[in-house]
Homo-oligomer: A and B are copies of this chain.
């Protein structure tokens, strides 16, 4: 609290410079690419194929739902719905996470049940309330479309039977690893552009450290990739407990990234909070046992807006 009050006073430029040095050390600019797995090298051919597959509704049973339906590029690669709408209009139980910067996460899905994007990619295709298909059916659909065999062969030239679910996952994951948002105001500030943050955002950055948000929301992607129990008001979702059966994982979810959080509303695993002004006090109370005053909430929200990076510009692929 002492530091937070200090930050809202007008410091001399000397003390400001010293303070900034202190606080910058807690943050890491977002690299332009996440780590690339050794067994799925990133190639232009895989990315091009993965982009097609990401937009491909014929992967779904109805031929009407693609990855891009819930991870909508027009809506910061999510759907701005509390929880996802899938096959036959069925409504799911969890909020669609953005794909942006997802390659930086240490696991996938709210409960971390898949270790990587390759594992994640095949989940929604087979989920009965999402795309509601089976992998054989999805692959058969692709095989029936002139062109896909060639695209898979080009992307996976060493494979004898390249049109496989493993390669489907590898291609989609490769495309997703290109969807990153570097050069947010915070990144530019960290790299030396003093004017990239407003004074309020600089003060919010200090609050973010001092209050303790950073203990979980840390690293380049503002997530420790660990699981923490949280009582989101009104939710009885068992969270990671359903994956591990460990009592300590009950109602635990992987720390959400805060990159582009101003765009990825609504919030929480159940999408029950609409605005950052709603979320910040709940998080402080639930996770840090802190009651924040309105001015602190405003500063933190202002800082969170500084995490909106350059959005990838994507042309819609012409599907075969």
Chain A contact residues, CB within 8 Å of chain B: 52, 55-58, 62-64, 66, 69, 72-76, 79-81, 85, 87-89, 311, 313-319
Contacts and interface: CB of A to CB of B under 8 A. Distances in A.
Given A88-B89, A89-B89, A80 B58 contact: yes
Contacts of A57: 72, 75, 79-80
A167 to B, nearest CB: 20
Contacts of A72: 57
Given A57-B72, A63-B81, A314 B311 contact: no
8 contacts: A55-B74, A57-B79, A62-B85, A62-B89, A63-B81, A69-B69, A88-B89, A313-B316
Contacts of A80: 57-58, 63
B315 A315 contact: yes
A124 to B, nearest CB: 15
A26 B81 CA distance: 52
Contacts of A317: 74
Contact of A64 (B62, B73, B81): B81
A56 B313 CA distance: 17
A258 to B, nearest CB: 19
Contacts of A88: 88-89
A87 to B, nearest CB: 7
Nearest to A73: B316
Main SS class of interface, A: loop
Contacts of A311: 318
A64 B79 contact: yes
A22 to B, nearest CB: 34
A316 B64 contact: no
Contacts of A58: 80
Contacts of A55: 74
Given A79-B57, A315-B314, A85 B73 contact: no
Given A64-B85, A74-B319, A89-B89, 11 more contacts: A56-B74, A62-B85, A63-B79, A63-B81, A64-B81, A66-B74, A75-B319, A76-B318, A311-B318, A313-B315, A314-B315
Nearest to A90: B89
A197 to B, nearest CB: 21
B74 A318 contact: yes
A52 to B, nearest CB: 8
A106 to B, nearest CB: 28
A252 to B, nearest CB: 29
Nearest to A55: B74
Contacts of A74: 52, 55-56, 66, 316-319
A55 to B, nearest CB: 4
A49 to B, nearest CB: 14
